[in-house]
A and B are shown apart, each in its own frame.
Chain A
């Protein structure tokens, strides 16, 4: 079993990258690999509660999909705390319980995984 880290770096819409990255993470996990997620930069916005996309938005809304992570045994989620602070987000009010990591500790987290996918 390899340890995969998926780094979520983009805001939840309008791009397709977060949804594709999440699908990839769930697929890899369904192949019995250990999968963790790290939310960094604008990726922390994916964890914001009360997201309402504009009416004209026709893409995927990811909020309900987070509940599916446990089906695929993806239980280790990290969020980088400076990214949260820069965007005025409160770590206690995110969509899911999540472990905080300081920016200087991110390289060690990355180094502790066998495969890293950034999306």
Chain B
């Protein structure tokens, strides 16, 4: 995927602006390069397993215009990707601090409700 043209007012020499917690201010200014940048900010190097979850959560957000809580997130992943991946220990292995919050942050969505 190619980097799109960011608007001139973005911070950090062209990276899109984020909230104090690191979530993108505008979910539209996202691509895989931005995701890698956001993940590094969390100390994560993205593997194929991370990308699968990140694309899932971004697709979910864009399709339903809804952000799940952790319970819904796990259930939705079970449905779409199977129970090997739709469980808390697998997701914690990928996103150690907080699977839903970190996956959403890297996927460029707003902060999900119920995340602290």
Contacts and interface: CB of A to CB of B under 8 A. Distances in A.
Interface residues of B, number: 15
Contacts of A71: 75-76, 79-80
A23 B69 contact: yes
A92 B76 CA distance: 29
A95 interface: no
Interface in B62-85: 63-66, 68-69, 71-72, 74-76, 79-80
Interface residues of A, number: 14
B25 to A, nearest CB: 15
Interface in B46-104: 60, 63-66, 68-69, 71-72, 74-76, 79-80
Interface string A5-23: 0000000000000000001
Nearest to A68: B64
Contacts of A116: none
10 contacts: A26-B72, A27-B72, A30-B74, A64-B63, A64-B66, A67-B63, A68-B63, A68-B64, A71-B80, A72-B72
Given A23-B113, A67-B64, A68-B63, 16 more contacts: A27-B72, A30-B72, A30-B75, A60-B65, A64-B63, A64-B64, A64-B65, A65-B64, A68-B60, A68-B64, A68-B66, A68-B76, A71-B75, A71-B76, A71-B79, A72-B75
